[in-house]
Amino acid sequence: MSTTSIRTAPDLKTVLLATGCVLTLAMGVRHGFGFWLQPISQGNNWTRETFSMAIAVQNLMWGVFGPFAGMAADKLGTAKVIVLGAVLYALGLIWMAMATQPVLFIGGSGLLIGAALACTTFGAVSGIIGRTAPEAKRSWAFGMSSAASSFGQFVMMPVDQQLIQHAGWQNALYVLAIVILAFMLPMAWRLREPPVVAATGPQQSTMEAVREAFGHKPFLLLLAGYFVCGFQLVFIGVNMPAYLKDKGIVDPSVAVIALSLIGLFNIFGSYFAGKLGGMFPKRYLLSSIYLSRSIVIALFILAPLSQYSVYVFAAAMGLLWLSTVPLTNGVIAGIFGVKYLSMLSGFVFFSHQLGSFIGAWLGGYMYTKNGNYDAVWIIVIGLGLFATLINLPIDEKAIEREQSTASTV
């Protein structure tokens, strides 16, 4: 018989407010990096592949650090992880503004901002949300956090564009670094962990939780599906402004409005995905999302391109954008419990970021090689159909253990 200390949950409203503000900024700034692709490339006389590689490394490092940020959040508290993430985020933005050598730009910004995102986004905050929310409201709570990140995208797109236009791309990055610190640090303060209470009984260790997850087929299927999600979203988010210019839509406001529409409609998509996740099997909802993405993308590239078709595409994709997040985290919590939820979500998100890495890099590589993105669009559609199929057989039942005390905390 062993005794460990576990944290009691703070108020759900406080957790959702504080983590929502952090996600709003972290994801809002991150989604706007596509606006820096051309000015940074032109200012430093680089090809698009350099910037694309930096974003690819950033997404990969986000995934690599994700499980460790999750472990730290589960054991040391979410607040400390967010403070570290805010500092790294600010340093990474400053590095992006100052680096003039491709290798330094790719390595520095990729490492710093990748680690920062791991400490300030879904993997780091999912544990405290899952432990705070009652089981009946857990999927809804995850939906609310996803909606907050979408609100950040909606708000920050025009802010990023205006900062670049009026302050210059370098000063815009400095301003964002200050904003990150000014808002994230007070929100982390609100997530200070409450007093601990003693828990008795057999406890599952971290490595036991990892082995259990990777030995369970539904977890592996979630890994594969999330890889596709990352590939699709990062390819579209990073390359959309440049793609529209290549196709003759040179007005930068079209790309700004499109990315803002993705963020706006994703607020509703994420919220309702979380709400529906408490009513219907999450695997069927996930399959429906991936199938819908493939259909929407196919119609977009086949239809005549205009600013209105771009807006319709953005709105439709927005409904499907991060709606996978509350459902995926809900499946993980339902199967394995919430004690190691941040860590397990971090592992799944690592797969997401592998997809993001390839999606970001492949977009720049294929453009440099072929002068267009046509082949990558086809790959994006095919991967969506693949993800549609592999989510269907996921078994969402809670895993049975001989000693399950820790998993149900």
In this structure, is residue 188 part of a structural domain?
A: yes
Backbone angles phi, psi at 324, to 5 degrees: -75, -25
In this structure, is residue 404 part of a structural domain?
A: no
In this structure, is residue 409 part of a structural domain?
A: no
Give the count of beta carbons closer than 10 Å to the beta carbon of residue 3.
Answer: 9
Q: What is the pLDDT of residue 193?
A: 56
Q: What is the pLDDT of residue 333?
A: 86
Q: What is the pLDDT of residue 4?
A: 43
In this structure, is residue 3 part of a structural domain?
A: no
The whole-model pTM stands at 0.75
Q: What is the pLDDT of residue 199?
A: 47
In this structure, is residue 360 part of a structural domain?
A: yes
> pLDDT by residue for the chain (409 residues), tens digit each?
344 444 444 688 888 888 889 998 998 888 788 788 778 888 888 877 788 788 878 878 888 898 899 888 888 888 899 999 999 999 999 999 898 888 888 888 889 999 999 999 887 888 888 888 887 788 888 888 878 877 877 788 778 888 888 888 889 999 999 999 999 999 988 886 544 444 444 467 888 888 999 999 999 999 999 999 999 988 888 788 778 888 888 887 888 788 778 878 988 888 888 889 888 899 999 999 999 999 999 999 999 999 999 999 999 999 998 889 889 988 998 898 878 888 898 899 889 888 888 887 788 788 888 888 888 999 999 999 999 999 999 998 888 766 544 444 4
Residue 227 belongs to domain with CATH number: 1.20.1250.20
Query: Which residue segment(s) compose the domain that 273 sits in?
Result: 9-195+207-398
In this structure, is residue 249 part of a structural domain?
A: yes
In the chain, the number of structural domains is 1
Q: What is the pLDDT of residue 234?
A: 83
In this structure, is residue 156 part of a structural domain?
A: yes
| Long-range contacts formed by 183-186: CB under 8 A, 24+ apart | 183/21, 183/25, 184/21, 184/22, 184/25, 184/26, 184/82, 184/83, 184/85, 184/86, 184/89, 184/120, 185/83, 185/86
In this structure, is residue 405 part of a structural domain?
A: no
Q: What is the pLDDT of residue 406?
A: 42
